[in-house]
Amino acid sequence: MNFKKIFKNASTISLSFLAIILALIILAFTYLYLKTPLAKSLSTRSIPQTTTIYDKTGQHVLYELHGEENRKILGHNDIPDTIRISTIAAEDDGFYNHIGVDFLSILRAIKSNIEKNGTAEGASTITQQLARNAFLSRDKTFKRKINELIIALKIERQYSKDDILDMYLNEIPYGSNAYGIGSAAKIFFGKEARDLTLDEAALISALPKATSYYSPYGNHIDELIYRQQRILDRISELDLADNEDIAEAKKINVAEKIIPFTEKIEAPHFVFYVKEELEKKFGKDAIEDGGLKVYTTLDYDLQKNAELAISENENTLQKYGASNAALVSLDPTNGNILAMVGSKDYYNKQIDGNVNITISPRQPGSSFKPFVYAAAFEKGFHPEINILDKETDFGKDGTGKNYIPKNYDGKYHGVVTMRQALATSLNVPAVKTLTLAGIENTVSLVNRFGVAKLENTNDYGLSLALGGEEVRMLDEASGYAVFAAEGKKNSIKSISKIIDSKNEIFYIPEQESSQILDMQVARKINSVLSDNRARSAVFGPNSKLHIPGKTVAAKTGTTSEYKDAWTAGYTPHIVAVAWAGNNDNRSMKTGADGSYVAAPIWNSFMQKALANYSDEPFEDYVKFDPDDPNIIFDKVVYKKKNGKEISEKKAKDKDPDKIDISITYFTANSIVNE
């Protein structure tokens, strides 16, 4: 037998078989190469990025919104060399020498995995890891690994090494919901990536190998520090940094520099109000993944003042049995929200602190009265008109009982002006004013102001005058802003502008404003509410509604059973509404009215807000013209019980029970008897 010939034929067949196998591999590789994603899409694809919410200046970060990936894309100059060399030493020390794939390392990894009866894995270069994170799943399959190799080769042909490393550092997960070096630096060390020192960079570079195992917030801190030290050693071996710098970095206890894991949030109630507005307008995904810069209307200093105003009045709140308080402030000239504190403590579960009281319906009490008087002033009544404060039966109310309101002090004050009645918050005159203005007209004005959404006029009775319907603090602040802006309503705004991830304008809200109230009517309300002399009869000259040296309009409100205490007030350039009470609607202690519980908070805030501004008196209204047919006048008549008319002076000297008083309101076209 010719063994030589047989061996030769066998060799020829084997070589042919190997050639066929090789050809098939080349064809398969070529097919896969053509089918894999184009590497050039790496830099143009949409990458989830964190949206940042700022105050109005952009100097204060209020919150960062993101989905599963908390990421900020950094430019080349914002990525420090410390993180570059640490990453190369930790992940791929041949990065600048290979073509995207290190075949010798792959062969060693395959051999190791075969010996351990595992799936081929490991030895991935930085480029391969970038390919996997950008285009592929993390499934440990042979097909996925081949795709990874092919995409890596394509990436290397398309981009420079520096570009690849930048994209990798912006892409890679570091654990604790940090994606990219920008987020990692913020989360673990509370600083910008460009400020990372060598010891910090080495620690961060240790994380991608096993983010959960090596987490700075996990149970393997010793192992993390050990790996960080080995990375510093490898930097030295590769001569990537000065040995003195490396030696200094190794001495530093970097674990002590790791900041506690907290979700930083400033002005939480305002932030989540803004978040809800954003999601309504643009959708959740666009906000969480869009990398937007949201500049809000919040005045950071005023926000801190609002928080301080509540905290420094804690003793007062406790004294009156109020477990919670809130404050909201607007700029009446443009509708911007300047401050929003929705509760005493957002994180206090016992008081439902996460509930934002500024956007929760509550009864406003007497703080609602200015809208009733404004409706009357629209009809031609005015601050100088007289109104009778005496016990009055207004007939059956919704419960079937006769409606006979009482004043807060339990007394009746006879003939008073509307100025006095509103300034001292008398209840009976307020209800009478509602009857004069008309419920329908008042409901129309309230809806026009946006203070509340009152739909069917027939559903509301005379208790409306005393704040019987629920409103939101924010909406009432917007209503008071109409008075401050002399009848102009500016829509409420929480956002000033949004910049997208390319630093281009994404959104600027339109300024919506309209004159919804006659200027003279607004000026009448301003005049009454800022008249400290008029309100002194009840509140005293130095109450918490008064700010020395400043002209401020203010009104308190207290609901039945002391469940809500309000103070609302303003100048031409700032409105603030304060509330105190209990979220669960429990009553506070007897006597917990707005002037004692809410007014101190309002006063503390407004004093600081106005400290650096000169006094801004309100423009006075034009006094009524006797020849104006739209102006309502009055005639007061005093009579004895026998019907004999007497003078006001004599009437005051007699027993009130023996005197009948009537007021006739008239214009050129009408007469109304009270």
Mind telling me the catalytic residues? Answer: 91, 366
Helix (H, G, I), strand (E, B) or coil at 579: strand
Helices 439-449 and 473-484: angle between axes, nearest 10 degrees:
90
Helix (H, G, I), strand (E, B) or coil at 424: coil
Helix%, strand%, coil% for the chain, nearest 5: 45, 15, 40
Backbone φ/ψ region at 241: left (φ over 0), alpha (ψ -120 to 50), beta: beta
Q: What is the CA radius of gyration of the chain?
A: 37
Q: Per this entry, what is the length of the chain? A: 674
Q: Distance between CA 255 and CA 252 in Å, rounded? A: 9
DSSP string, 77-100: GGS-HHHHHHHHHHH-TTTTTSSS
According to DSSP, residue 607 is labeled H
Q: How many CA atoms lie within 13 A of 386 on its CB side?
A: 18
| Strands of the sheet with 51-54, listed across from one edge | 61-65, 51-54, 293-296, 495-499, 505-507
In Å, how far are 45, 65, 71, 179, 223 from 68, measured between CA atoms? 18, 10, 9, 9, 26
DSSP string, 146-202: HHHHHHHHHHHHHS-HHHHHHHHHHH-EEETTEESHHHHHHHHHSS-GGG--HHHHH
Q: Whose structure tokens read 């404050």?
A: 327
Backbone φ/ψ region at 450: left (φ over 0), alpha (ψ -120 to 50), beta: left
Structure tokens at 389: 């404060």
- Residue among 348, 323, 367 nearest 576 (CA): 367
Judge residue 416's burial from the number of C-beta atoms within 10 Å of its C-beta, 0-12 exposed, 13-18 middle, 19 or more buried: buried
